[in-house]
Amino acid sequence: MIDTHIHADSRSSEDFEMMYLSGIDSAVTCSFYPYKLYNETVLLNHLERILEYDTTRAKKYGINLKVALGIHPSNTEINPQLIYNNMYQWIENNKIIAIGEIGLENLTENEINIFKKQLEIGEQTKTPVIIHTPRKNKFKVFQKIIDIVPGYIDPNLVVIDHINGDIVKEAIDSECMLGLTVQPGKMTKEEAICILDQYGFDRFLLNSDISNMPSDCLSVPKTVRELKKEGYDERKIEKVAFKNARNFFKI
Q: What is residue 90's predicted lDDT score, i.e. its pLDDT?
A: 98
Q: What is residue 36's predicted lDDT score, i.e. its pLDDT?
A: 85
Domains and CATH numbers, the chain: 2-249 (3.20.20.140)
Q: How far apart are the first and last CA of the chain?
A: 12
Q: What is residue 37's predicted lDDT score, i.e. its pLDDT?
A: 86
Q: What is residue 213's predicted lDDT score, i.e. its pLDDT?
A: 87
Write the single-letter amino acid at 133.
Answer: T
Alpha carbons 190 and 141: distance in angstroms, whole number: 25
Q: Could you tell me the mean pLDDT of each successive run of 10 residues in the chain, 251 residues long?
A: 97 96 98 91 96 96 98 95 98 97 96 98 98 94 97 98 96 96 95 97 98 94 98 98 98 92
Q: What is residue 134's predicted lDDT score, i.e. its pLDDT?
A: 94
Q: What is residue 246's predicted lDDT score, i.e. its pLDDT?
A: 98
HEC profile of the chain: CEEEEECHHHCCHHHHHHHHHCCCCEEEECCCCCCCCCCHHHHHHHHHHHHHHHHHHHHCCCCEEEEEECCCHHHCCCCCHHHHHHHHHHHHCCCCCEEEEEECCCCCHHHHHHHHHHHHHHHHHCCCEEEECCCCCHHHHHHHHHHHHHHCCCHHHEEECCCCCCCHHHHCCCCCEEEEECECCCECHHHHHHHHHHHCCCCEEEECCCCCCCCCCCHHHHHHHHHHHCCCCHHHHHHHHHHHHHHHHCC
Alpha carbons 179 and 199: distance in angstroms, whole number: 13
Length of the chain: 251
